[in-house]
Structure 1
Amino acid sequence: MSARRSTVAFLVLVTAGFPGTAWATPGPAPSVTEVDSDTSAGADGDKLTAGASGVIVFNRSKNGSGKSAGTVTSSTSWTPPACYYAPKHTAKELDAQMRQVWGTSSPSHEWALKTQNYFVNGQPYKDFNKDKEGEGYWWDSYVTEGREADPASQECDELPFWVDEGDAPPPDRPQAITAETLAQLAYAEIRVPSTEVDLAPEGATKVNLPTWAWLDTAEFKPVSVTASVPMLGLSATTTAEPVSLKIAPGTDDAVTYPASGQCEIRDGRIGAPYAKGRADETPPCGVKYLRSSGEGSYQLQATVTWKISWTSTTGAGGDLPDGEFGAGQDVVVQEIQAVNR
């Protein structure tokens, strides 16, 4: 815990009800209430002010949907940021909040003196920059929703800092929000369809009989989420596009088609549906079980890999780590019964 945080432990109860005082309390900053939008970011988002509880508008209108849709997870150890700095207060808003907090503490208290010097007495700001009201915002920390318990969420523990409208945030604040940050936050909002595959034979398959596997490609189209900060005129769109299906049979007593178990998407198709008369063919995507599942079943795991990329209103863009989403399904494998006469 930093010295600044430890000096204000007594303010926990006082400031708990005040929005935007993450830096004034020990422990993780409060999470941002981010605005959900199924329309363009310009509608209600344009009405946001720095004092609003949320600064980011998500447009999920082109996202995956349905009961079986799920969140992609990075195929590496990478994760979107747990915290970031973004506009949160106008000069007058921060002035009102801080004076209310100071009113509950001793005038000689170390934290009160430090913050009064910082915001009022020119070290480095004077009178909360109220002479610049309407010309910029105080930037403060936000915690990404769902990451409140992540130790990384406490990395954004600096006092609020002023940024003039149209200027870039100071370089010594690496967590300050950028187009790429928005793209990374949009990554966490991506939802993709279920990966339960169609199998033939249906219901139960037989030992040493190739089982065809395929996915309904109509559901597997690119999806995207756009994250915006309307007050900055900044937005980024993160797009996920399916590239392959990985089959894991659920037992070592099996072989996959292809041998890697990685079924590439070709001509917009993942695998191929079984058709009558193709029993002697090798499926382009599938599995052959070498042993019966006995009284139970094998848990076949099907995982789709999604290529993730982003674009932005700044012209910046690129790739983010591939995402994965998988699901398991039971496969019953029976012995082929022969009748002797």
Structure 2
Amino acid sequence: MAAAQASTEYPTPTVHTAPDGKTYVRVRTSLWIEGFDNVQTQPITVGAQTVQLVATPKSVTWNLGEKTIVCDDAGSKDGKTCNYAYQRSSASRSGGAYQITATITWDVRWTCEGADCDEAGGSLGVNSIPSAPTPLVVSEIQTNTGQ
């Protein structure tokens, strides 16, 4: 089991936003990631048992700088399943931008086949893999009423 766990390669999520890199207060910003796919190890055979791990992505936790939200899927450019509208500009933040991250939560399960297996499989719980921080500038739109 330890060898299978050690060989599991989880993808690091890549963060995307629309608008890209800059948005505005009270404007819906679409959020999505790359890397939200099942992960499966190669079967590892030791003696009369073969063990394999499968990790299934369950959710993405977005730390958006002013709020944390959870989306049930990878999101999409159209923002239908994962989006957020900022309430404050990022002007007072270090570098003038929020540093946003996306963390995938994986449900990790294992299977064992062969005469030496005590069980056929089970759960190893969850594993979380965060993205690198991605800067997002949030500006305010000024309006002129002509008065």
Q: Is the 8 A contact 1:247 1:286 kept in 2?
A: no
Q: Is the 8 A contact 1:292 1:334 kept in 2?
A: yes
| Alignment partner of 2:85 out of 275, 288, 296 | 288
Q: Secondary structure at the match of 1:191?
A: coil
Alpha-carbon offset, residue 284 of structure 1: 2.3
Amino acid corresponding to residue 213 of structure 1 in structure 2:
L
Alpha-carbon offset, residue 310 of structure 1: 0.6
| Alignment partner of 1:302 out of 102, 112, 120 | 102
**For the residues of structure 2 that align with 1:234 and 1:288, how far apart are their CA atoms?**
51
Which structure's residues are more often strand, by fraction?
A: 2
| Alignment partner of 2:31 out of 213, 218, 225 | 213
* TM-score computed with the length of structure 1 as normaliser: 0.37
Which structure's residues are more often helix, by fraction?
A: 1
Amino acid corresponding to residue 285 of structure 1 in structure 2:
C
Superposition pairs for residues 127-146 of structure 1, below 5 Å? none
Alpha-carbon offset, residue 290 of structure 1: 1.2
If asked which structure has higher relative contact order (CA below 8 Å, sep 6+), I would say 2
**For the residues of structure 2 that align with 1:242 and 1:202, how far apart are their CA atoms?**
24
Alpha-carbon offset, residue 189 of structure 1: 2.3
Superposition pairs for residues 176-187 of structure 1, below 5 Å? 182=1, 184-187=2-5
Q: How many pairs does the alignment contain?
A: 137
Alpha-carbon offset, residue 208 of structure 1: 1.4
Q: Deviations over 1:44-86 (max 9, x none)?
A: xxxxxxxxxxxxxxxxxxxxxxxxxxxxxxxxxxxxxxxxxxx
For 1:263, the equivalent position in structure 2 comes to 71
**Percentage identity across paired residues of the two chains:** 32
Amino acid corresponding to residue 262 of structure 1 in structure 2:
V
Q: Secondary structure at the match of 1:239?
A: strand
Q: Deviations over 1:274-329 (max 9, x none)?
A: 2xxxxxxx742122211111151111110011110011123621110111101121
RMSD across aligned positions (CA): 2.1
For 2:60, the equivalent position in structure 1 comes to 245
**For the residues of structure 2 that align with 1:185 and 1:288, how far apart are their CA atoms?**
44
Q: Secondary structure at the match of 1:192?
A: coil
Alpha-carbon offset, residue 221 of structure 1: 2.4
Superposition pairs for residues 36-115 of structure 1, below 5 Å? none
Q: Deviations over 1:121-156 (max 9, x none)?
A: xxxxxxxxxxxxxxxxxxxxxxxxxxxxxxxxxxxx
Alpha-carbon offset, residue 339 of structure 1: 3.4
Q: Does residue 1:228 correspond to 2:45, yes or no? A: yes
Q: Unpaired runs of 5+ in structure 1?
A: 1-181, 275-281
* TM-score computed with the length of structure 2 as normaliser: 0.81
Q: Does residue 1:329 correspond to 2:126, yes or no? A: no
**For the residues of structure 2 that align with 1:188 and 1:334, how far apart are their CA atoms?**
44
For 2:113, the equivalent position in structure 1 comes to 313
Q: Unpaired runs of 5+ in structure 2?
A: none
